[in-house]
Structure 1
Amino acid sequence: MAFHLFLVVKNIYFLTVHILGNGFLPREPELPPGTGELLPGELICARPRRPNPVNPVTPIATDPPQTWIPGETVLPGTEIPFPTLDTNTPIATIEPETRPPPPPRRDENHTLVTGWKQQRIGCCPAGSATGSIVYQGQACCVNVTYNSTLKFCCLTKKLVLDITPENTRFCYPVNRIPYCRVRDLDLEVYRPLDVSCTFNKQKNPLQCDFVCPVGSKISGAKKTTCSSIGTWTQPASCCEGCPTTFTHDIWFIVDIDSGVGVGAMSDVRKFITGLASYLPISQMNVRVAVTAYNRIVFTDQQTWYLDAHDSYATLDFAISRLPNEGLGRNAGAAMTWVSNNAFKGRLGDRPAVENLIVLIATGNPDDSITSAAAALRNIGRLAVVAVGPDATSSDFASAATAPSSENFLRVPNFLALDNNVKYVYQLLCGRNCITQ
């Protein structure tokens, strides 16, 4: 009877293998991220944590046996301590594996797998307690794991490359003179970032300048050079700015009192053009208007409306012609004029588009700005930039839309304006790398 039962079980086993071998092999179940079964002899690279009910800032190591041990090889019979806040330290003893191997299955690449899961042979980077696991058939190069049958590690370039004749020549040049390739800057990842390069007689790039389209700026290095070992000195970054589809109506109210001096006013003009350089200026996207004031509110060439400029180039030219003349700072009168006259459809306002008003003051106002500020806050978001040693009134911070920590900017001197040209862009769009 026992012999017949053995034959039945054996036949069922081979029948199961036969059925699974015809394309019906189950996929290996995926474990939740950061967890896994602790098996003897496996090298582990990370340990998940669970919240600490006593002190949330200090998590506790996950209780055994479902845990990872950082950077250690766990052998049968090993006792592993798991420290907690308690005085008693729990101990886990790893027992030798006694289970039968699992049935044949297919991995994520639909490759037939028999026996236990592919053995872990290391961590990447080597010895790291927080790195990625390296399995059999893989290797680690510049902190990246790769399939060692399809790719190779080019240490001279600090790159993982496909095994091809071209890449082999690139990594180990026949003439022993290292060179760079534009494609290794991975520009496709950072579009619309582009490059303008100079080349040698062999048509190998020597230096590349990173280029961003109008309405955005390079967030990192502006250029990169091919080093003597054939690697780029600077990685590609991204083009920083508001998205190309971003829309807004922005009105600047600018103090042009001549008391600050010609140089300071030049810094103010440069600041405004810098603010606009991160925005997609056009009649379809971001429209920009300006009202200038000193003791009077200018309504002639020192003011233009939202429908005046369709490109950054024409806007930049108009800002460069803002004068530095007259005395007095009737900021309240200028803000009142804008609230009563500016945001009108006949002057280019778009009812469905959000409004931003930016007051740039180079000194304390000669009149009250409280009621005018309240009126402007009903029209849109009011941001206030107080520049220089004479713009210290507490009314500026209270005039801005709440919270003032976001919508009020105090710049102690005019030279520091250049460090704040991202203010409006980050106020509206956050820190953003634009993509095509």
Structure 2
Amino acid sequence: MDYKLTVLCAFIAGCLLFTSASAARDSCNRAIDLVFVLDSSGSINNANPRNWQQLLEFVNKIVSMRTIGSNDTRVGVVRYSTDVVSWIYLNSYDNKNDLMNAIARIPYDGKSTNIAGGILQMRSVQFTAAHGDRPGVPNVAIVVTDGVSIIRPECTIPEAEQAHKQGIAMFSIGVTSKVDSAEVIGISSPPHTPNTYVFFAQDFRNVDNIATKIFNATCNARPPPGSAVSPTSATP
């Protein structure tokens, strides 16, 4: 094949691929209220002192793929350890750069694992009108853990089930082989489908590899079946 023709074909193929990827990304950027619930327990950085920073980079990679704004996606962040703190509320930032800078500065805690407390904070504090939750906009949560519940472990699944009933689409991510896979699966929205609502990563070096999968999964997030919010009435 002529060299110029080869180059032209490669250019056209690249443009088509870029256009297709851009179209898919645009179709995913409907408005959602998105809250990250992040494990900041001692095991995170004990294994590798870079793990917490890699987790924040993972969050920012997902944020970078979304359109952020008062009429687009809003983002909140809950950090849980022994103490549970809402570091960023849904109405804290409407500017993507400011939001990503704030996420990058969230400090590491390093105490015990309180998944139940993190989910409670997410559903009862973050998803409220006072902190930016919008009517008619899908509520989506991404819960990340690298271990098992230590504080009130008996409450973890009931708290998740209550969030399901409130119509929050729940994605769960278990990092490392030390997680309780049944717990991670139980946190996610029914039907707890692997690689749709439940994800696993070998370590924090690999969690970045599933960021695009998580982004794509949130495109189709719907309120859990039987929740207070009907999937048919949710914002498409």
* TM-score of Structure 1 vs Structure 2, range by shorter chain: 0.7 to 0.9
How much has 1:242 moved relative to structure 2? 4.1
1:251·1:358 contact (CA, 8 Å) conserved in 2?
A: yes
Q: Could you say which structure has the larger radius of gyration?
A: 1
Q: Distance in 2 between matches of 1:360 and 1:348?
A: 22
Change (3 A) 1:350 1:387: same
How much has 1:238 moved relative to structure 2? 4.1
1:250 corresponds to 2:34: yes
How much has 1:264 moved relative to structure 2? 1.0
Q: Distance in 2 between matches of 1:345 and 1:323?
A: 26
1:242·1:278 contact (CA, 8 Å) conserved in 2?
A: no
Equivalent positions of 1:162-201 (< 5 A) are: 185-186=11-12
Aligned match for 2:170, one of 382, 387, 394: 382
1:313 corresponds to 2:160: no
TM superposition score normalised by structure 1: 0.44
Q: Distance in 2 between matches of 1:320 and 1:329?
A: 21
Deviations 1:257-305 (A, max 9, x none): 1332121111111111111122111121111100101011124xxx211
TM superposition score normalised by structure 2: 0.79
Change (3 A) 1:238 1:339: closer
2:78·2:121 contact (CA, 8 Å) conserved in 1?
A: no
Q: Distance in 2 between matches of 1:349 and 1:260?
A: 30
Aligned match for 1:344, one of 115, 118, 128: 128
Q: Residue 125 of structure 1 aligns with which residue? A: none
Greater strand fraction, Structure 1 or Structure 2: 1
How much has 1:413 moved relative to structure 2? 1.1
Equivalent positions of 1:224-239 (< 5 A) are: 238-239=21-22
Q: Which has the higher contact order (CA 8 A, sep 6+)?
A: 2
Q: Distance in 1 between matches of 2:29 and 2:20?
A: 21
The DSSP-based 3-state class of the residue aligned with 1:372 is: helix
Q: Distance in 2 between matches of 1:298 and 1:394?
A: 26
Q: Distance in 2 between matches of 1:402 and 1:419?
A: 24
Q: Distance in 2 between matches of 1:325 and 1:307?
A: 24
Deviations 1:5-41 (A, max 9, x none): xxxxxxxxxxxxxxxxxxxxxxxxxxxxxxxxxxxxx
Deviations 1:135-155 (A, max 9, x none): xxxxxxx7xxxxxxxxxxxx3
The DSSP-based 3-state class of the residue aligned with 2:27 is: coil
How many aligned positions are there? 210
Equivalent positions of 1:404-415 (< 5 A) are: 404=192, 405=194, 406-415=196-205
2:28·2:219 contact (CA, 8 Å) conserved in 1?
A: no
Comparing 272-281 with 389-398, greater Cα deviation is found at 389-398
Where do 5+ consecutive residues of structure 2 fail to align? 221-236
The DSSP-based 3-state class of the residue aligned with 1:308 is: coil
Letter in 1 for 2:176: G
Deviations 1:17-74 (A, max 9, x none): xxxxxxxxxxxxxxxxxxxxxxxxxxxxxxxxxxxxxxxxxxxxxxxxxxxxxxxxxx
The DSSP-based 3-state class of the residue aligned with 1:241 is: helix
Q: Distance in 2 between matches of 1:390 and 1:342?
A: 28
Letter in 2 for 1:394: A
Q: Distance in 2 between matches of 1:267 and 1:358?
A: 16
Deviations 1:172-199 (A, max 9, x none): xxxxxxxx78xx9459x65xxxxxxxxx
1:355 corresponds to 2:139: yes
- Give the fraction of aligned pairs with identical amino acids, expressed as a percent: 19
1:248·1:287 contact (CA, 8 Å) conserved in 2?
A: yes
The DSSP-based 3-state class of the residue aligned with 2:68 is: coil
1:395 corresponds to 2:183: yes
Aligned match for 1:298, one of 85, 88, 92: 85
Q: Which runs of 4+ in 1 moved over 6 A?
A: none
1:250·1:356 contact (CA, 8 Å) conserved in 2?
A: yes
Q: Residue 223 of structure 2 aligns with which residue? A: none
Greater helix fraction, Structure 1 or Structure 2: 2
Q: Distance in 1 between matches of 2:212 and 2:26?
A: 10
Q: Residue 128 of structure 1 aligns with which residue? A: none
The DSSP-based 3-state class of the residue aligned with 2:141 is: strand
How much has 1:306 moved relative to structure 2? 0.6
Equivalent positions of 1:94-105 (< 5 A) are: none
Q: Residue 157 of structure 2 aligns with which residue? A: 370
Change (3 A) 1:245 1:363: closer
